[in-house]
Amino acid sequence: MTLQERDKKVVWHPFTQIKVAPLPIAIVRGEGAYFFDDQGKRYIDGIASWWVNVHGHSHPYLAKKISEQLSVLEHAIFSGFTHEPAVELAERLLKRLPGNQSKIFYSDNGSTSVEVALKMAFQYWSNLEIPKTKVIAFENGYHGDTFGGMSVGARNAFNMPFSKLLFDVIHIPVPVKGKEEESVSALKNALLHDDVASFIFEPLVQGAGGMVMYSAEVLDQLISMCRAKKVITIADEVMTGFGRTGKFFAADHLQHKPDIICMSKGLTGGVMPLGATSCAQFIYDAFLSDDKMKTFFHGHSYTANTTACSAALASMDLFDKPEAFENIKRIEAKHTAFLQEIKSHKALIDVRQLGTILAFEIKTPEHTNYLNSLAEYISEFFVERGIILRPLGNIMYILPPYCISDQDLDYMYSVVELFLNEQGE
Ligand SMILES: *Cc1c(COP(=O)(O)O)cnc(C)c1O
Q: How is 163-177 classified by DSSP, letter by letter?
A: GGGSPPEEEE----T
What CA–CA distances, in Å, run from 372 to 163, 205, 308, 366? 22, 21, 36, 7
Contacts of 120 (CB under 8 A, 6+ apart): 105, 260, 277, 279, 283, 296
pLDDT attached to residue 188: 98
Pocket probe for ligand 1: among 118, 239, 268, 390, the residue whose CB has the most ligand atoms within 8 Å is 239
pLDDT at 368 over 60: no
Q: Are residues 397 and 419 in the same domain?
A: yes
Q: What is the whole-number distance in angstroms between the Cα of residue 346 and the centre of ligand 1? A: 33
**Pair 126, 197: CB distance under 8 Å:** no
Q: Is there an atom of ligand 1 within 6 Å of 408 CB?
A: no
| Ligand 1 centre distance from Cα of residue 236 (Å) | 8
116-148 pLDDT per residue, tens: 999 999 999 999 999 999 999 999 999 999 999
Q: What is the pLDDT of residue 424?
A: 76
Which residue type, as a one-letter code, is found at position 30?
G
Asked if pLDDT for residue 297 goes beyond 90, the answer is: yes
Closest ligand 1 atom to the C-alpha of 141? 13
With a 6 Å cutoff on the Cβ, whether 266 touches ligand 1 is: no
How close is the Cα of 276 to the center of ligand 1, in Å? Answer: 12
418: containing domain: 3-58+322-423
pLDDT, position 275: 98
One domain, residues 100 and 228: yes
Q: Which of 7-11, 73-77, 220-224, 373-377 has the lowest mean pLDDT?
A: 373-377
Cα 307 to ligand 1 centre (Å) = 21
Number of domains in the chain: 2
pTM for this one?
0.97
pLDDT confidence of residue 18: 80
Q: Is 143 in the pocket of ligand 1 (CB under 6 A)?
A: yes
Question: Among residues 262, 292, 319, which one ends one of the domains?
Answer: 319
Residues contacting 415, CB < 8 A, separation 6+: 381, 382, 385, 387
Domain's final residue, options 301, 319, 337: 319
**Which positions ≥6 away from 287 have C-beta within 8 Å?**
123, 124, 127, 294, 295, 296
Percent of the chain topping pLDDT 90: 92
Quick one: pLDDT at residue 372?
A: 67
Instruction: Say yes or no: CB of residue 235 within 6 Å of ligand 1.
Output: no
Look at residues 290, 319, 348 and tell me which one is the last residue of a structural domain: 319
Q: Which atom of ligand 1 is the closest one to the Cα of 146?
A: 9
Q: Are residues 290 and 389 in the same domain?
A: no
pLDDT digits over 378-394, tens only?
999 999 999 999 999 89
With a 6 Å cutoff on the Cβ, whether 109 touches ligand 1 is yes
Distance between CA 312 and CA 395 in Å, rounded? 30
Question: What's the 391 CA to ligand 1 centre distance in angstroms?
Answer: 16
Cα(262) to ligand 1 centroid in Å equals 9
CA 113 to ligand 1 centroid distance, Å: 9
* Ligand 1 binding pocket includes 357 (Cβ within 6 Å): no
Atom of ligand 1 nearest to the CA of 239: 15
232 backbone φψ class: left, alpha, beta (φ>0; ψ -120 to 50): beta
Looking at the structure, tell me whether residues 181 and 308 fall in a common domain. Answer: yes
The CATH number covering residue 160 comes to 3.40.640.10
> Do 391 and 251 share a structural domain?
no
Does residue 290 sit in the same domain as residue 391? no
Query: Above 80 in pLDDT, residue 157?
Result: yes
Tell me, yes or no, whether 158 and 190 share the same domain.
yes
207 Cβ below 6 A of ligand 1: yes
Q: Which of 50, 51, 108, 111 to mutate to test the pocket of ligand 1 (most atoms within 8 A of CB)?
A: 111
Residues 9, 87, single domain; the answer is no
pLDDT on residue 370: 57
Model confidence pLDDT, tens digit, residues 181-232: 999 999 999 999 999 999 999 999 999 999 999 999 999 999 999 999 999 9
pLDDT band at 295 (very low <50, low <70, confident <90, very high): very high
298: alpha, beta or left? (left if phi > 0; alpha if psi -120 to 50)? beta
Residues 242 and 274 in one domain: yes
CA-to-CA distance for 423 and 425, rounded, in angstroms?
Answer: 6
Q: Residue 377's domain is classified under what CATH number?
A: 3.90.1150.10
> 165 and 307: one domain?
yes
Same domain flag for 38 and 89: no
- Evaluate whether 283 touches 260 at the Cβ level (below 8 Å): yes
Please give the angle made by the CA atoms of 128, 132 and 136, to the nearest 5 degrees.
130
pLDDT of residue 20: 84
**Which residue's CA lies nearest to atom 8 of ligand 1?**
110
Let me know whether 135 and 189 are in one domain. yes
